């Protein structure tokens, strides 16, 4: 199980409270689809996601970004039992959605970059280190039900 | 050979004209040393790297940041032949400095985050994709002469 110091818990909470799900959510999946275009294969039902302008104006992409961030909120609130919190989500992504787990890491990178654009200097190196530790724990939890 | 679109060429030149190279180089190296502490092993002659404050105020770290950025600027000026431009640098890192090439990717990730923080909302998905493609070519070229 991952150990969190008081300082790390505080840092994660303070980064998270600066994130506006309605503002950041839509950017998140859009960024992944643009920067890592093979991820488009997972969103066959989303309609046109094949050009940057289509991606940025696609309502389903925007909505799904918010879904992902709301799930991340659960991780922030359950730092001490992330694996349990994400067990059902992990099974869903493995058994139903057949998502290659490498993509969780790519999405985590997109989350960090989107937050870096917003927080700028406030995402200093130590805050980045803690935030990336948090996201690796999330990625591990998403991997937990994969065999 | 890598193909660059006009958008990618323009974007890379634009990024390098907008960023404060000295600050970005120093910030990226510091961030690497803090977020991925094992990289400190390569900088034994840099003196005090024992904590984040020491790292961010270390003048040798700042100076090395400038060295890295001028290396990147050479790549920007020779985008159609980064592989050859970096041949000697690759030999240096492999044969003299013995740097594990996985670390080039870590530095590239830190560079993305620092540039994202500097450019803010101007670091859109398309800009990120172009910048990361550029960095991937640089990383690959640095690893070329390893055997």
- DSSP characters for B113-125? HHHHHHHGGGS-H
CB-CB under 8 Å, B30 with A34: no
Average confidence score pLDDT of chain A: 94
Nearest C-alpha in A relative to B28:
A125
Of A34, A121, A132, the CB nearest to B125: A34
Given a cut of 90, is residue B22 above it in pLDDT?
A: no
pLDDT at B1: 74
When pLDDT is averaged across residues B40-56 and rounded to a whole number, the result is 92
What is the rounded CA–CA span in Å between residue B43 and residue B31? Answer: 14
- Ordered DSSP codes for B77-139: HTGGGHHHHTHHHHHIIIIIS---THHHHHHHHHHHHHHHHHHGGGS-HHHHHHHHHHHHHHH
CB-CB under 8 Å, B34 with A129: yes
Residues of B in contact with A31 (CB under 8 A): 125, 128
B68-78 residue pLDDT tens: 999 999 999 99
CB-CB under 8 Å, A117 with B121: yes
Nearest C-alpha in A relative to B126:
A34
A116 and B CB contact within 8 Å: yes
DSSP, collapsed to helix, strand or coil, labels residue B75 as helix
Nearest C-alpha in A relative to B51:
A126
A1-57 residue pLDDT tens: 789 999 999 999 999 999 999 999 999 999 999 999 999 999 999 999 999 999 999
Given a cut of 80, is residue B130 above it in pLDDT?
A: yes
Residues of A in contact with B114 (CB under 8 A): 116
Residues of B in contact with A112 (CB under 8 A): 113
Of A31, A121, A129, the CB nearest to B117: A121
A53 and B CB contact within 8 Å: no
Given a cut of 80, is residue B141 above it in pLDDT?
A: yes
Of B30, B116, B123, the CB nearest to A125: B30
pLDDT at B145: 84
Share of chain B above pLDDT 90, in %: 84
- Ordered DSSP codes for chain A: -----HHHHHHHHHHHHT--HHHHHHHHHHHHHHHSGGGGGGGGGG---SSHHHHHH-HHHHHHHHHHHHHHHHHHHTGGGHHHHTHHHHHIIIIIS---THHHHHHHHHHHHHHHHHHGGGS-HHHHHHHHHHHHHHHHHHHTT--
What is the rounded CA–CA span in Å between residue A39 and residue A143? Answer: 17
Share of chain B above pLDDT 70, in %: 99
pLDDT at B146: 83
CB-CB under 8 Å, A126 with B34: yes
pLDDT at A2: 86
Separation in Å, CA of B29 to nearest CA in chain A: 10
pLDDT at A147: 79
Judge if ipTM > 0.85.
no
Separation in Å, CA of B77 to nearest CA in chain A: 24
Angle at A28 between CA A23 and CA A34, to 5 degrees: 130
pTM: 0.86
């Amino acid at each position: 199980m991952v150990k969190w110091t008081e300082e790390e818990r505080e840092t994660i909470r303070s980064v998270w409270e600066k994130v506006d799900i309605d503002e950041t959510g839509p950017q998140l999946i859009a960024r992944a689809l643009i920067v890592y275009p093979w991820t488009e294969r997972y969103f066959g039902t989303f309609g046109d996601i094949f050009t940057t302008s289509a991606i940025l104006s696609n309502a389903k992409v925007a909505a799904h970004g918010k879904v992902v961030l709301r799930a991340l909120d659960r991780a922030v609130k359950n730092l001490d039992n992330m694996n349990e919190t994400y067990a059902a989500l992990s099974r869903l992504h493995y058994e139903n959605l057949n998502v290659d787990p490498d993509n969780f890491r790519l999405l985590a990178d997109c989350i960090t970059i989107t937050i870096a654009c917003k927080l700028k200097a406030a995402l200093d190196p130590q805050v980045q280190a803690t935030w990336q530790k948090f996201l690796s724990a999330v990625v591990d939890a998403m991997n937990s039900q994969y065999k | 050979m890598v193909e660059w679109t006009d958008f990618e060429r323009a974007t890379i030149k634009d990024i390098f004209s907008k960023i404060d190279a000295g600050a970005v180089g120093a910030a990226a190296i510091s961030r690497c040393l803090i977020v991925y502490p094992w990289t400190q092993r390569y900088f034994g002659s840099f003196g005090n790297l024992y904590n984040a404050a020491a790292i961010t105020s270390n003048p040798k770290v700042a100076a090395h940041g400038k060295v890295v950025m001028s290396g990147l600027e050479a790549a920007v000026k020779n985008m159609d032949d980064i592989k050859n431009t970096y041949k000697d640098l690759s030999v240096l890192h492999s044969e003299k400095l013995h740097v594990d090439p996985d670390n080039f990717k870590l530095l590239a990730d830190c560079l993305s985050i620092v540039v994202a923080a500097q450019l803010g909302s101007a670091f859109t998905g398309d800009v990120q994709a172009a910048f990361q493609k550029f960095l991937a070519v640089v990383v690959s070229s640095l690893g070329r002469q390893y055997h």
